[in-house]
């Protein structure tokens, strides 16, 4: 049996979503900017999908001068546009556990002269908001933008976004939230959130890859990354992928309406996996366990092994998991998240991430516990002999 436990990286597309997209693909040529009947029909499908997305994010997207949604190719592009296009290019504040797409963009901006301010995290992965409050109250820090993830993609630790939004609102500072891991998994009402901009992508909640969004609060403007067309008020030119947006809307609708049931299911499977492994191997370390976490995310340190050996052994055993962020796991550098948490080196070098979804089963988890335990025992004995 092959078991997919890498749902933080990407999820299987829901069959219901695929069917909606197939119908859209077969509906004929789709260019929502064309003025003929085909184009007008495409525009109506696109507008309806965007309104659906707004309704399930708790925001109106059909109001003049109101909130708006920029359709992008996914989370990386949305994050890039937010960081490069929001604020007045003054100091940017972010935590050390952000997604690589945020960190890389921030460092690119720093090389071009933009000041960065860093927020640390505690040993269990929660952002230090006391540091943000101190920065805001310091006269010489004229902060232009704060960017924080809603939940960490490696540990699953849910971050204090509501509190950060309140701090930023009182100080008149824009807050960008990378909600890539939480949309469809945690309740959200953008209308009263205090958030200025929010990133999400469909393939994290059983929608299609290649499409995402950057939501902007009313009166928040963003500079474009691309140029060359009038689509999306010239903030993101290019022909809109109507079928992908329709699929994203359907996936979001299903994720939100089924959220309560899915969350209970995923949390039960995650706890079963962790408890089953800890019963056999009490020395294992579950990262971030003392804080609230995403229902389906587990980050486990397999002491006395190294993450790459464990990853390869589990792959051979038919279990798909990850040694960190999907955007960096190809080269498998040490986790910047665990490093920022000041975890011991033996934990950093031995940690794997597991992510279950609403399609995961208890049979898969029970089989995985056996396979993971067997692989761990073999590699741990080998390491002890080598040492």
Assigned token pair, 342: 């000041």
d(CA 8, CA 18): 20
Torsion over CA of 77, 83, 88 and 91, rounded to 10 degrees? -170
Q: Is 266 a catalytic residue?
A: no
CB 111 within 8 Å of CB 84: no
Quote the DSSP letter at residue 106.
H
* Strand 319-320 versus strand 3-4 pairing type: parallel
Q: How far apart are CA 193 and CA 281, in angstroms?
A: 42
Give, in degrees to the nearest 5, the angle at Cα 279 between 275 and 285. Answer: 70
Compute the distance between CA of residue 71 and CA of residue 49 in angstroms, rounded to an integer: 11
Residue of 168, 266, 321, 327 with catalytic role: 327
Q: How far apart are CA 212 and CA 230, in angstroms?
A: 19
Quote the tokens at residue 106. 């921030």
- Written as one string, the DSSP assignment of 136-157 is HHSTT----EEEEESB-TTT-B
For residues 219 and 213, give the distance between their C-alpha atoms in angstroms, rounded to a whole number. Answer: 17
Catalytic residue numbers read 327
């Amino acid at each position: 049996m092959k078991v997919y436990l890498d749902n933080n990286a990407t999820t299987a597309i829901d069959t219901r979503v695929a069917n909606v997209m197939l119908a859209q693909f077969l509906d004929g040529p789709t260019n929502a900017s064309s003025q003929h009947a085909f184009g007008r029909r495409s525009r109506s499908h696109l507008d309806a999908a965007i309104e659906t997305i707004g309704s399930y994010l708790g925001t109106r997207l059909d109001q003049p001068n109101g909130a708006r949604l920029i359709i992008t190719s996914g989370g990386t592009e949305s994050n890039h546009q937010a960081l490069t296009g929001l604020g007045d290019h003054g100091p940017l504040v972010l935590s050390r556990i952000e997604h690589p797409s945020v960190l890389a963009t921030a460092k690119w901006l720093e090389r071009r002269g933009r000041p960065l301010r860093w927020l640390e995290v505690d040993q269990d992965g929660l952002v230090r908001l006391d540091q943000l409050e101190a920065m805001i109250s310091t006269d010489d820090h004229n902060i232009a933008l704060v960017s924080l993830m809603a939940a960490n993609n490696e540990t699953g630790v849910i971050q204090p976004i509501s509190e950060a939004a309140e701090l930023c609102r009182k100080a008149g500072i824009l807050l960008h939230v990378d909600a890539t891991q939480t949309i469809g998994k945690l309740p959200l009402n953008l209308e009263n959130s205090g958030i200025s901009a929010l990133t999400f992508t469909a393939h994290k909640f059983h929608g299609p890859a290649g499409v995402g969004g950057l939501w902007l609060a009313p009166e928040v403007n963003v500079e474009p990354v691309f140029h060359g067309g009038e689509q999306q008020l010239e903030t993101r030119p290019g022909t809109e992928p109507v079928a992908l947006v329709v699929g994203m809307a359907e996936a979001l609708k299903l994720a939100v309406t089924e959220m309560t049931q899915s969350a209970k299911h995923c949390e039960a499977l995650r706890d079963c996996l962790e408890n089953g492994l800890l019963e056999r191997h009490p020395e294992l370390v579950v990262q971030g366990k003392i804080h609230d976490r995403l229902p389906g995310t587990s980050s486990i340190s397999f002491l006395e092994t190294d993450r790459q050996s464990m990853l390869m052994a589990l792959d051979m055993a038919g279990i798909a998991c990850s040694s960190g962020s999907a955007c960096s796991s190809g080269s498998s550098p040490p986790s910047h998240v665990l490093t920022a948490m000041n975890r011991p080196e033996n934990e950093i070098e031995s940690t794997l991430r597991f992510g279950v979804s609403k399609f995961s089963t208890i049979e898969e988890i029970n089989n995985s516990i056996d396979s993971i335990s067997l692989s761990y025992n073999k590699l741990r004995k080998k390491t002890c002999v080598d040492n």
